[in-house]
Amino acid sequence: MICPVPRIQILPDALVNRIAAGEVVERPASVVKELVENSLDAGAARVEVELTNGGRSMVRVADDGCGMDGDDALLALERHATSKIRSAEELQHIGTLGFRGEALPSIAAVSRFVLLSAADSAVGGVRVTVEGGRILGAEGAARARGTTIEIRDLFFNVPARRKFLRAPETELRHAQEALWGAALARPDVTFVLRHGKRILIDAPAVADPSRRLKDLWRGAGRVIRFAVDGGTMEVEGLLAPGGGRGRPILTFLVNGRAVRDRLLVGAVLRVLREAGGGFGGSRVVVDLRLPAEEVDVNVHPAKAEVRFARGGAVFAIVERAVREGVSASQGKVGVSRLETGRLEAGAPAVSGVAEHSAGGYGELLRRRNEAGAPPLFSHPAYGEEGSVDSEAVGMEASFPAPYPAGDLPRSGAKVGPADTPFGRLIGQYRDSFLLLEDQHGLVIVDQHVAHERVLYDRIRRRLAGEEAPSQGLLTPRLVEVGEARAAALPSVEALLHRVGIDAEIFGPDTVRLSSVPPELEIEAAERVVEEVLDRATALDGVPERAADELEEELAASLSCRAAIKINHTLSPAEQRALLDDLVATENPYRCPHGRPIILRLSQEEMERRLGRR
Ligand code: ADP
Ligand code: MG
C-alpha cells in the first residue's frame, strides 16, 4: 500500500537556512545588527559599516576582532555552528550577543556573501564566497587580523521578500537605528557608518555614554541623564529633547543588549505624550538592568524582543525613570520652577534640577493632593512662596529699585473688565502662552495643554456615544506598522472608528487608513494609530483592563496630536474661544495626566520679589 502522506524527511540544510532567514533577516538593518553583534562578540575595538542603496545593494561590516582561521570560517557557515555556547546550562547565562549560530548561514542563504577573515595576519586569511547558500569557493587571502563580511543583493533569490524591502531611505533609517543600538550599548568601541560617499556615523570610542549620544546625534544640544534604582531592577537613561517635530527615537538596552520591545516602547511613549507636544524628535536611551533569570532573551530569533518575568514592574520602573528625565528637562523652564517651588514651602528656592525632578508629575500631584490643594480658581500655585531661578535672584540683588516703593498700585487695585472666564485677556506671549490679569495678579495659560484638555474631554464624549465626524481620504494611506502591531488591529478597529479613524489590515505588516477626523492631519492620524496599536500589543493578555486603557490611550494620543502647538499664533478671538472651551472642561487646571495648565502669579508675590514689600 502506498501511503498518501509523504514520508517525514530531514529538510536539506539549504532549505532550513532559507526558512530561518525569514526569521532572522527581515531587511538590511537585520543584517547590520547580526554582523555588528558578531563583531562585538569577537572583541572588536572598531566596527565599520558601509551600505549602498540603503543596504539593498550592499552591506559590508569590517572589524578588528579576533577573526577566524580557514576551518572556523567554513564552520561558521554551518547551521548551529557557534563558538559561544556549548550546553543548555550555558543558555541561562549568555554573555555574548549571539548564541544561536543561525545568523551567518541564514544571511548567506539569501544573498551573495563574501567572508574575509584572519585570526593572525602573519598566517594570512581566508576568503569564502557563498551565493544563495551554496559555497562557491574558499581560498587564502591577505588581511590584517579581523573579519570583513560583504553582502550583496539581499533576497535576490527570494523575490517575495525582496518585494517587501522599502525605499532606500527607509532601509537606511532602520539600519542606522540598528547601529545606534549597538553603538549606545558599547561606547567603548569605535563605530563608523558610511552610505555611499557620506559618513553618517563617526563615533570614536569614549568612556561616557552621553558623549556617545552627542556623537551619534550631532544636533543634540542638551543630554539629560536619569536613573532609578529599584532594588533588583535598575534603569539608567539619557534624554536629548528634540525640537518638537518628528517621531521620537527610542533605544533600549536590556542587560547591555539592544532590544526592541513593545512593552518598553509603550512605557516611554506614554510618558512623552503625557509631557505634551514638546518631545517630538527627542532621543531616548533606556538602559535596563535586571537579574538574568527575570528576562528571557531567547524568545525571538533575532533577539529583538525579550520576555520579562515581571512585565508590570518593568513597565512601571521605566515609566518612572523617563518621567524623571522629562521633568528634569522641563525643570530648566522658569514656569515649571514656579510651579514646583511651592511644594517645598519654606524650603530654599529651587536652583537645580535634581531637587524637584524626583518622582515627576505623578509625584507632584500626589504631594499636592496630600497637601489638600484648594479646588478650581484658587490655584495651588497662587499666593504661595514661589521659587525663582538663580539668575533672577541675582538680578534682584544687584539692581537698584527704579521707582520708590508705593508708586505702583497694591494688590486689589482696579483691573479692566474681565472678558474671559479667567480674567482680562492681555494677549499671547511668544505665541505660546496666554496672559491674563484678574483682581489677584497675572494668569498664564499654556495654550497647548489647554487645547489638549479641551480635545480630551471632547473625545471622551465621542467615545461615550456622540457621532464622530470623519473625512474620507481620496487616496487611502498605507502605513507600515510591523507585523505584531498589524495583528493587533482587529482589537482596536471599532474603537478607532468611533473617533472617526477608519483603518483596516492591508497585508501582514501594513494598515490601510481610509478616513481620519477632520481636525487631524494624516501624519498625526498615522501616529495615533501606531500608538494605539502599541498600547494594544502591550496590553496583550490583560483583556479585562484593555478596553478602558485603550480608550484612555486613544483620547490622550488624539488630543495631544490634534492640539495646537506652542509657537502658534492665535487671534484674540481664538484665544477667547479657547479659554471659553477650557472653562467648560472637567478640570481646566490640569491636563488628564495631571500636568498644570494654568499658572498664577499674585501681585503680592510680584511685589515681594521686586523688593516692594
Ligand atoms: P552566533 O553569533 O549565534 O554564534 P553566527 O551565525 O552569527 O552565530 O556566527 C557563527 C560563528 O561565527 C560565531 O559563533 C563566531 O565563532 C563566528 N563569527 C561570526 N562573525 C565573526 C566575526 N566578525 N569575528 C570572529 N568570528 C565570527
Ligand atoms: Mg551572531
Look at residues 572, 277, 601, 339 and name the one whose alpha carbon lies nearest to residue 434: 572
* Nearest atom (ligand 1) to Cα of 106: 6
Rg of the chain taking only CA atoms, in angstroms: 29
Q: 27 CB under 6 A from ligand 1?
A: no
Pairing of strands 146-152, 58-63: antiparallel
For ligand 1, atom 14, which residue shows the shortest CA distance?
82
Cell digits of residue 496:
478607532
Which pLDDT value is given to residue 342? 27
For ligand 1, atom 7, which residue shows the shortest CA distance?
103
pTM: 0.55
* Nearest atom (ligand 1) to Cα of 97: 2
User: How far is the centre of ligand 2, averaged over its atoms, from the C-alpha of 34 (Å)?
Assistant: 5
User: How far is the centre of ligand 2, averaged over its atoms, from the C-alpha of 211 (Å)?
Assistant: 28
CB of 528 within 8 A of CB of 501?
A: yes
User: How far is the centre of ligand 2, averaged over its atoms, from the C-alpha of 306 (Å)?
Assistant: 17
User: How far is the centre of ligand 1, averaged over its atoms, from the C-alpha of 403 (Å)?
Assistant: 77
Mean pLDDT in runs of 10 for the chain (613 residues)? 50 57 78 94 96 97 95 83 56 56 86 96 91 90 96 90 86 91 93 94 89 79 86 91 78 86 81 78 90 76 69 87 88 33 27 26 28 24 25 25 33 62 91 91 93 87 74 81 86 86 86 83 87 80 64 84 86 88 83 82 88 82
Which pLDDT value is given to residue 200? 92
Which pLDDT value is given to residue 384? 25
Q: 63 CB under 6 A from ligand 1?
A: yes
Which pLDDT value is given to residue 366? 30
User: How far is the centre of ligand 2, averaged over its atoms, from the C-alpha of 198 (Å)?
Assistant: 27
User: How far is the centre of ligand 2, averaged over its atoms, from the C-alpha of 178 (Å)?
Assistant: 14
Which pLDDT value is given to residue 551? 81
Q: 74 CB under 6 A from ligand 1?
A: no
Q: 99 CB under 6 A from ligand 1?
A: yes
The rounded distance, in Å, linking the Cα atoms of 223 and 237 is: 10
CB of 445 within 8 A of CB of 436?
A: yes
Q: Could you identify the residue written with the cell 488591529?
A: 489
CB of 177 within 8 A of CB of 29?
A: yes
Cell digits of residue 352:
537645580
CB of 262 within 8 A of CB of 307?
A: no
User: How far is the centre of ligand 2, averaged over its atoms, from the C-alpha of 35 (Å)?
Assistant: 7
Q: 81 CB under 6 A from ligand 1?
A: yes
Which ligand approaches the C-alpha of residue 81 most closely?
1
- How many other C-beta atoms are found inside a 10 Å radius of the C-beta of residue 430? 8
Which ligand approaches the C-alpha of residue 148 most closely?
1
For ligand 1, atom 19, which residue shows the shortest CA distance?
38
User: How far is the centre of ligand 1, averaged over its atoms, from the C-alpha of 53 (Å)?
Assistant: 26
Q: 104 CB under 6 A from ligand 1?
A: yes
Q: 214 CB under 6 A from ligand 1?
A: no
- How many other C-beta atoms are found inside a 10 Å radius of the C-beta of residue 379? 22
The side-by-side arrangement of strands in the sheet containing 441-446 is 424-429, 433-438, 441-446, 598-602
* Burial zone of 324 (CB within 10 Å; 0-12 exposed, 13-18 middle, 19+ buried): buried
User: How far is the centre of ligand 2, averaged over its atoms, from the C-alpha of 12 (Å)?
Assistant: 22
Query: What pLDDT digit, counting tens, does each position of 537-557 carry?
Result: 877 655 555 677 778 888 888
Q: Could you identify the residue written with the cell 568601541?
A: 189
Q: 102 CB under 6 A from ligand 1?
A: yes
* Nearest atom (ligand 1) to Cα of 38: 20
- Looking at 204-328, which runs of residues are DSSP E strands? 224-230, 233-240, 249-254, 257-259, 283-289, 295-296, 307-308
Which ligand approaches the C-alpha of residue 82 most closely?
1
Which pLDDT value is given to residue 22? 54
The rounded distance, in Å, linking the Cα atoms of 16 and 77 is: 13
Q: 64 CB under 6 A from ligand 1?
A: no
- How many other C-beta atoms are found inside a 10 Å radius of the C-beta of residue 376? 10
User: How far is the centre of ligand 1, averaged over its atoms, from the C-alpha of 369 (Å)?
Assistant: 56
Write out the residues surrounding ion ligand 2, Cβ under 5 A: 38, 98, 103
- How many other C-beta atoms are found inside a 10 Å radius of the C-beta of residue 414? 6
- Buried residues in 9-33 as b, exposed as e (16+ CB within 10 A): eeeeeeebbbebbeebbbbbbbbbb
Q: 30 CB under 6 A from ligand 1?
A: no
